[in-house]
Structure 1
Amino acid sequence: MGWFGTAGGGAVDPSLHVVTVRRAKDAKAVGAGFVLSPDTVLTCAHVVNAALGRVMLEPRAPGLDEVVVEVHTDGPGVRSHPARVVHWVAPHASGGGPVPPADDEWLGDLAVLRVDGPLGGLPAGPRLVSMAVGQELDAWHCTGEAATYASLTVRGLSDSRAYLDGAPTGMAVGPGYSGGPLWCPTEKAVVGLVVAHFMPPRDHATGAPLAFSPQHLVRRSWAVPWQRVESELRPLGALHGVVPGAPDPDDHAFLLLTEAIEDIFPTASERVTGAQRLARACGVASGSDVTPPTPEEFAAFLLTHPRALAALAGNLRRDTPRDADRVLAAGGLSHVPRLLSPQEHTALRKHLRAMEPQVGAVTAGPQ
């Protein structure tokens, strides 16, 4: 992890990236997900359907109904927050339309949940990179318990899905793994999410498991690779708040912000103070009290945390308004920074939640 506790911070235990999705009415765990941005979680649409008591592959978006997401930390206890669907990619058959009941595979099946919680309520999300054939991966049950990891290998990969074969020993993917992150230790990143497992065949008349045959498919699952998630969600505007791995070093905004940070915080102590104040505003961990982030690292944070630029401008506005204008002008050359600071965004969402449901149903997501 760098000076700012940003995405891809490298949790010691990657199972901490697993977010549990629970039913609001009885808190039963129904599936998993993982943090996508500072206030969103990605999971499968069918996990949300299960949490709301709907038919598993119901294609209609659930509206304003809430589910509960539970995030894990490396300390004792967990944190639970209400969440609603803000982007929905319905499960559908390859030719479009509903998925036939007998089908074991389908397309779509993604849901982005907006999490309502305090600033910094979500942990840092993982790095996100493309999936490739041959990658060795780990997946966990939605409880996030470290012992539930299943070892998997990417054996087949197409534009829309990946086929994963499990190790012959240890845990097998099954109910409760859907929506969970697929962690690649080599890349130290998430490369996709689990969707379903090919279960042992059953008798069509009774539903009882058939007698075992060596011809049966054993420990094969399928998943949505990250590159497919990107292609599905980017047109919806669902990835605007996703923290990229690093800004382009030749990005004009990056170069201008680096120069601005050098001028605004000319000494190490001033940069430490400014960086600590910014980290608190964004709800992320900060680094050394003595050694500041480099101007490049400071600028990179402004272009990777989607609300950091607004937060820094707010910190500078009262005492040095010209500096605030300067960082806003430089940040305007990048598509990452958003209009509201974390505190402003939290306050606006609090007001929106207090409104009548009919108003919230037609209100666009706050910037």
Structure 2
Amino acid sequence: MEDPDYAVKVAHAALYRDQDPRAFGGGVLIAPDLVLTCAHVVNQILGRPSLAQERPAGPDDVLATLSVALPGAFAKHRFRAKLEGWLPAGRPDGQPARDGDAEWAGDLALLRIEDAPVCSEDRSLSVLSATRLPDVRPPDIGRCRVGTVSYVWFGSGAPSTIAAATAQGVTDHWIVLDCPASAQGIVGGYSGSPLWDRELQQVVGLVVGRRGQRAFAVPVWDVHTRFEAGGDGTWPASARPARDDRRRTSLILQLLGPLRACLVSPADRAECADRLVRELGLPGQGPGADASHEWIARMALSRPRGIPTLLALVHSRTVSEDDRRWVRRTALSTAPDQFLTALEHRELLELLIGTEPDSDSASLPGPQDAAARALQLGPSLTGLEWPEAVAVLEAYQSRRGRVPRLLRLVEFAAAHTTAEETQHALRAWNDAVARRLDVSESLLEHRAQAIESLDAAIDAPVVQVQLWRAGNSDAFSYVLRATDALGGVTHHRTQDRPVPLTGLLAELRTLLEDIAPHSAPGALPTVECFVTPDELDLPFDQWIYHEDDLFPAVLGKDFLCVLRCPELRRRTFASELRYRWQALLSGRLVLLERHDPVIQERGAASPVCAVALISPDTELVRLRVIALAVGVPGVVWARPSTRTELGQALIELAQGAAPNELPRRVYEARVAAEPGSIGTRLALVWDGPDNLPEALRLSDPSP
């Protein structure tokens, strides 16, 4: 069978430091002797800070200690390289990037491989007999398609290190990647490696880094243009990326229709060309009276956000409603992943992240906090900063309503900021974009919902207890972790050696007493207990963490106690768990006596988000496992008991409840519980896709 990844494998370059068997990163051949990689990979190999700005060598100087291998074409040898071009990581404002920046531009290096290999399989650095570089055809370069799966390999190019990544969005500088269905995540050592679109047979990016479980890549479809604009060195003509011109030609033809209809006179074209150049932030001016429709279309295609910027300018010149609809349809078909103009995008990011350290944007909720209120059925923004979150939402096509989810999120961010000036500015920005998109009336409902959300439940701290029982004893190893209402970690401790339950409860009591003074008035702290599958009936909510003759402190009566068991969650249903978790307000709670296929339905308009198990004890374990495996967030049952009336009490507790009401109902039953009642028997799993304990750090794959 023909290898679908052959074109990228033979063009994959591995970058090493002399005498080191492990690759520091990867690269891709864009000409027979030219490798494109990340500047920070070169810096690391040379022992420099990752974001060092100075060019490390002249064009005629061989990079000391750095060697290049071509594992897919010439696996046994490494080659020396010279630095042909250098574009270090920089901020969008032109300042050098710094550690801790959410995103940066550039971070590119172009290496020219020397013909003679410098080492063989035994990694010795003795120069071998002259061997010419293999004649490898560089792969095609293309644009990343949001929502598609691309593939990437560890810097060494080892076939077993392949990772599948889903593109969640494309910012001005990065591709946002998740690896939800891949056994191998993108870790350190993947930087610089090509991101491969197997379906289109194109390289669409270079992996640049990761934060948490999310990775990022540099788009490469216009890399030579960006390099020539700000890089140190001349981009060789032989290295201009090959790209599929058929799609480009098709887009130009689509744009020419509304351009010819709306830009009739030379003066119209000249003014539109000048404004396009200014709004895209390009130096100089347009061609003036010589501006043609084709020039305008090609300029829009050459820059990020060029198409929506152009079509917004054209939209302002339309006369008839038919022409306006034509322009809007063209915008959707030619730039489905972006609808903001370059100016709108810059203004929004300035409002969300500010331009000064003491900016009012510090009072804004983060994207995850705003999304938790605004996007019950939207995409996950876990781990994203504002630039990446904006890109994800801009590309997200909702199945409901006309208002883009990004505009809804901005409304909720505005409602929940304490800075009045920022609030007014965000709403004014939203109004202007909504007018251009013709959704002003629909936006008003979202604004009203955002204002109403101010009266929603108060955020509360969360205490997480991760337990491992020692044999059949009542001794446990554990991890205790606490986060405040904003998600900041306030306590983290690991107890590796098993201790009696009394020792665990003593430490838990101290932690709970410490968080009490810092909880908001009326807030009900949550205690999450992470257990193994054989401990799901652990009655931890009934643990007395403070003895008192008159008023003993019971966990389930003082706190909202829930179980979590990520081990039973099937990875193939990870996206379904996220969907159901976001749909808690609109989903269903069902009573299950036996297995019902309805709980396995994916993407339902009103999904099953919680189940109450009223089955016999003999069926309870099986149904519980099924519900958790397919991604149902809430599962409640009465721990095994011979008392049949508990089943009816559970039915009454769950009857008519919405999924998001289930934890509170269980808590109220526990507070009112008498010995032996339903409240003392209830077990509740309330398990979303986020805020999981950190897994043990595994070493990077070997080369």
**Shorter-chain TM-score range:** 0.5 to 0.7
Indicate conservation of the 8 Å contact 1:104/1:198, yes or no.
no
SS at match of 1:241: helix
Query: Taking structure 1 as reference, are residues 185 and 26 closer, same or farther at Cα in structure 2, changes over 3 Å only?
Result: closer
Query: Taking structure 1 as reference, are residues 227 and 156 closer, same or farther at Cα in structure 2, changes over 3 Å only?
Result: same
Select the residue among 235, 238, 246 that pairs with 1:238: 235
Structure 2 residue 54 is matched with structure 1 residue 41: no
Whole-angstrom distance in 2 between the partners of 1:122 and 1:50: 29
Structure 2 residue 187 is matched with structure 1 residue 154: no
Whole-angstrom distance in 1 between the partners of 2:4 and 2:179: 25
Structure 2 residue 75 is matched with structure 1 residue 81: no
The aligned amino acid for 2:197 is C
* Aligned pairs for 1:292-303 within 5 A: none
Match of 1:313 in 2: none
- TM normalised by structure 2 equals 0.30
| Residue 59 (structure 1) shift | 0.7
Query: Taking structure 1 as reference, are residues 22 and 122 closer, same or farther at Cα in structure 2, changes over 3 Å only?
Result: farther
Query: Taking structure 1 as reference, are residues 69 and 122 closer, same or farther at Cα in structure 2, changes over 3 Å only?
Result: farther
* Aligned pairs for 1:80-159 within 5 A: 80-117=78-115, 118-121=131-134, 123-159=136-172
| Residue 122 (structure 1) shift | 5.7
Greater RCO between the two (CA within 8 Å, min separation 6)? 1
Select the residue among 208, 218, 223 that pairs with 1:229: 223
Task: Give CA-to-partner distance per residue, 1:75-94, whole Å, 9 cap, x none.
Answer: 8x433110021100011122
Indicate conservation of the 8 Å contact 1:69/1:83, yes or no.
yes
SS at match of 1:46: helix
Indicate conservation of the 8 Å contact 2:163/2:182, yes or no.
no
Structure with the higher helix share, 1 or 2: 2
Match of 1:305 in 2: none
What is the aligned-residue RMSD (CA, Å)? 2.6
Whole-angstrom distance in 2 between the partners of 1:88 and 1:49: 11
| Residue 237 (structure 1) shift | 3.7
Whole-angstrom distance in 2 between the partners of 1:227 and 1:188: 13
| Residue 147 (structure 1) shift | 1.3
Match of 1:350 in 2: none
Indicate conservation of the 8 Å contact 1:159/1:228, yes or no.
no
Indicate conservation of the 8 Å contact 2:39/2:88, yes or no.
yes
Query: Taking structure 1 as reference, are residues 86 and 25 closer, same or farther at Cα in structure 2, changes over 3 Å only?
Result: farther
Whole-angstrom distance in 1 between the partners of 2:191 and 2:245: 32
Whole-angstrom distance in 2 between the partners of 1:247 and 1:101: 38
| Residue 239 (structure 1) shift | 4.5
* Aligned pairs for 1:209-288 within 5 A: 219-235=213-229, 237-242=234-239, 244=242
SS at match of 1:116: strand
Indicate conservation of the 8 Å contact 1:127/1:245, yes or no.
yes
Task: Give CA-to-partner distance per residue, 1:222-247, whole Å, 9 cap, x none.
Answer: 11112342322345541411263589
SS at match of 2:150: strand
Match of 1:295 in 2: none
Indicate conservation of the 8 Å contact 1:233/1:239, yes or no.
no
Indicate conservation of the 8 Å contact 2:82/2:112, yes or no.
yes
- TM normalised by structure 1 equals 0.55
Indicate conservation of the 8 Å contact 1:82/1:115, yes or no.
yes
Runs (5+) with no aligned partner, structure 2? 116-130, 247-703
What is the percent sequence identity of the aligned residues? Answer: 30
SS at match of 1:147: helix
Query: Taking structure 1 as reference, are residues 16 and 27 closer, same or farther at Cα in structure 2, changes over 3 Å only?
Result: same
Indicate conservation of the 8 Å contact 1:91/1:110, yes or no.
yes
Equivalenced residues, count: 220
Whole-angstrom distance in 2 between the partners of 1:80 and 1:244: 26
SS at match of 1:47: helix
Whole-angstrom distance in 1 between the partners of 2:47 and 2:73: 31
Whole-angstrom distance in 2 between the partners of 1:104 and 1:27: 31
- Larger Rg belongs to: 2
Moved more, 51-60 or 158-167: 158-167
Whole-angstrom distance in 2 between the partners of 1:13 and 1:227: 17
SS at match of 1:50: helix
Query: Taking structure 1 as reference, are residues 91 and 247 closer, same or farther at Cα in structure 2, changes over 3 Å only?
Result: closer
Whole-angstrom distance in 1 between the partners of 2:181 and 2:31: 35
